[in-house]
Amino acid sequence: MKIGFISLGCPKNLVDGEVMLGIAQAAGHEITRDTAGADVVVVNTCAFIDRAKEESVDAILEMAALKKDGARLVVTGCLAERYRDELKREIPEIDAVLGTGEVPRILDALDGGGGMTDGGIGATTPSAVVPVTFHRPRAHGADPSSIIRHPSSAIRHRPLPTYLYDAATPRLQTTPRHFAYVKVAEGCDYTCAFCIIPTLRGQYRSRTRESIVTEARALAARGVRELLLISQDTTFFGIDRGERGALAGLLRELNAIDGLTWIRLLYLYPTTITDDVLGAMAECEKVCRYVDLPLQHASAGVLKRMRRPGNRRTYDALLARIRDRVPGVTLRTTFIVGFPGETTQDFAELEGFIEDTRFDHVGVFTYSHEEGTRAYAGTDDVSSSEKRRRRDRLMARQQRIVSEAQQGRIGSEVRVLVDGASPEHELILQGRLEGQAPEIDPVVLLTDCDPSSFGPGDLVRARIVAAQGYDVIAAPVP
C-alpha cells in the first residue's frame, strides 16, 4: 500500500515516526508524500500543550476531510494515547488509534488487523501539514475542542508504556542525510507539576550502550555526520540501570566512530549534569560544547510549585561550573511564564536571571493548564494576555543580548557544518556552528562562495563578516 505520513511534535516523537516508517517499508509498503493519493494516512500527534494538541487535531481533521473511498486514517502518538476514546467518538473517520507504546503494532493498524481501533499507546516526524482553522465546521457537526477539553479518566488506569526500540529495529531516516536523532532512553521518572509526559510515556528506561553505539555506527556508515542524543533527560542515561557514569562512557565510545563530525546532547537536567559528563564534553573532539538545559524558572517559590529542583543561587553555581569545566560552551535553556501563582516579583527575578546569565539561546513558553497534571488542581490565575506580555518581554530582552553577542563575533574564525541551500536565496548556503542545533537555533548564512563547492554535512572554515538578527553571515576562509 501507499502510506502517507504526517508527524508533529518533538524529535523524540520524530524517532518513533521514523521507526513506524521503517517497519512499514520493511514490510513492502511504499512511503509517499502525496497524502491525497495514499491508501493509508498516518497522523503522528503531539499532546504536550494546548497549542500542540490543537495543531494535531487540525491535522487529523484535514486528513479526514480529504479521505478517499477505501482509504484508512490512523492516528498515533501522544494525542492518541491521551484522548483515545474522545478521538474515536468525535472523528469517526479514524480507522485505528495507536498510543505511544504501540509503535511495533503499526502494521496491524495499516491493514486493519488486530482490532486496532481499541488502540493502545505512539510517535512522530517532520510536520507536513498545511495549517487549518481549529474550530472550522465539520460534516458531523462535532466541536473538535471537546476532544481535548475532557480527556477520559481511563488513561490513569491503563498500564504505562514499556516500548523501547533498539539498533535492530527498522528505521527510515526523515531528517536530512547528514544528521540524525538517536533516542538513548524513553519515558521519565520526574514529577514536574506542569508535565503529563510520564503518564503518556511511562517510566524512564535506558537503552544499552551497545545498542546505541551499534546504531550510531550504522548511521555514520550511511553518511550521518551529526548525532543528536535525545531523551526526556539525557543526563539520566544509565542511572535507571544502576550504571552511573554511563553517559560519559557512551560519549567517549561515540567519539571514536569514524565518519562522525559532531555529537550533540539535548534535554539535560540540572541535578544529573555530572563532572564526568562535562569532562567528556570538554575532552572529546566530536562532542559539541553545547548544553541544552531547560531550567523553567529562577524563582525559588515558582520552582518549588513546579516540583523542579534548585533556585537562583544553585542555578548560578551550576552554570558557573559548566562554563568553568567546558570553556566556550554554548548554553541553551527554556522557561515557562505564567505558572499558577507567579507574581510580578517572581517574574522580575526570572528577568534578572536572564539579563545576568546571558544565555546563548532562550525559548519562552506560556504556561498551559493541562488536565492530568499536578498543577491542574490549582488555579490558572495569570491571564492569557499577561502570560503573552511576560513572554514577549523576556524574548525582547534575549534578542538584545543575542544581538550584542553576535556583533562581538564579527571577525572571528569558526567551523560551519553545511545544511544545504538557504531558503532565502539559492546562491547562499545555510549552516550551523557547533553551538547551534538544527531547527531550534539560529543559523549561519555562507556567502562569497560557489554553492556547488560544499554539500550537506561538509565542515567549512569560515570567518563571520556580519550579523543579521539572531543569525550571522560568514564567508569561507581560503
Mind listing the pLDDT tens digit for each residue in 29-46?
999 988 988 999 999 999
- Please report which residue ranges of 290-362 form alpha helices under DSSP H: 300-306, 312-325, 344-357
Q: pLDDT value at position 113?
A: 64
Same structural domain for residues 209 and 270?
yes
Residue 170, domain member (yes or no): no
- Whether 125 has a pLDDT exceeding 50, the answer reads no
Task: Using the CB atoms, write b or e for 9-18: b if 16+ within 10 Å.
Answer: bbbbbbbbbb
Q: What is the pLDDT of residues 394-410, one digit of tens each?
A: 999 999 999 999 999 99
Q: What is the pLDDT of residues 3-20, one digit of tens each?
A: 999 999 899 999 999 999
Give residue for cell 528577568: 351
Query: Could you tell me the residue range of the domain that residue 199 belongs to?
Result: 179-408
Could you give the CA distance from residue 191 to residue 236 in angstroms, rounded to a whole number? 15
Length of the chain in terms of residues written? 478
Residue 185's alpha-carbon distances to 144, 203, 470, in angstroms, are 33, 10, 32
The mean pLDDT value for 417-428 works out to: 89
Same structural domain for residues 103 and 212?
no
Same structural domain for residues 114 and 206?
no
Residue 188, domain member (yes or no): yes
Report residue 50's pLDDT band, with 50, 70 and 90 as the boundaries.
Answer: confident
- Whole-model pTM: value is 0.90
Residue 193, domain member (yes or no): yes
Residue 279, domain member (yes or no): yes
Same structural domain for residues 323 and 394?
yes
Same structural domain for residues 376 and 257?
yes
Residue 253, domain member (yes or no): yes
CATH number at residue 50: 3.40.50.12160
- Whether 188 has a pLDDT exceeding 80, the answer reads yes
Could you give the CA distance from residue 395 to residue 393 in angstroms, rounded to a whole number? 6
CA dihedral 228, 212, 284, 434 (to 10 degrees): -10
Residue 20's alpha-carbon distances to 14, 75, 218, in angstroms, are 10, 12, 18
Same structural domain for residues 375 and 271?
yes
Report residue 146's pLDDT band, with 50, 70 and 90 as the boundaries.
Answer: low
Give the closest residue to 429 by CA, choosing from 466, 474, 478, 464.
474
Residue 168, domain member (yes or no): no
Residue 59, domain member (yes or no): yes
Determine contact, residues 206/240, Cβ cutoff 8 Å. yes
First to last CA, the chain: 51
Boundary of a domain, candidates 353, 381, 408: 408
Percent of the chain whose pLDDT exceeds 90:
77
39-43, 154-158, 239-243, 420-424: the lowest-pLDDT one: 154-158
Same structural domain for residues 344 and 439?
no
DSSP letter assigned to residue 287: B
Same structural domain for residues 299 and 397?
yes
The mean pLDDT value for 229-251 works out to: 95
Same structural domain for residues 462 and 378?
no
Q: Amino acid identity, residue 91? A: I
DSSP letter assigned to residue 130: P
55-69, 218-232, 272-286: the lowest-pLDDT one: 55-69
Q: Which residues contact 285 (CB under 8 A, 6 or more apart)?
A: 255
Same structural domain for residues 124 and 136?
yes
Report residue 348's pLDDT band, with 50, 70 and 90 as the boundaries.
Answer: very high
Q: What is the pLDDT of residues 62-120, one digit of tens each?
A: 999 888 778 899 999 999 998 888 898 889 999 999 999 999 999 999 988 643 443 33
DSSP letter assigned to residue 83: S
Give the closest residue to 94 by CA, choosing from 119, 75, 109.
75
Boundary of a domain, candidates 408, 440, 465: 408
Q: pLDDT value at position 70?
A: 83
Boundary of a domain, candidates 408, 429, 450: 408
CATH number at residue 440: 2.40.50.140
Half-sphere exposure of 418 (CA within 13 A, CB side): 22
Question: 139 is written with which cell numbers?
Answer: 460534516
Question: At 178, phi and psi to the nearest 5?
Answer: -90, -5
Burial class (CB in 10 A: 0-12, 13-18, 19+), 476: middle
Same structural domain for residues 259 and 402?
yes
Half-sphere exposure of 425 (CA within 13 A, CB side): 9
Residue 338, domain member (yes or no): yes
Q: Which residue has the higher pLDDT, 284 or 129?
A: 284
Same structural domain for residues 208 and 302?
yes
Query: How many folded domains does the chain comprise?
Result: 3
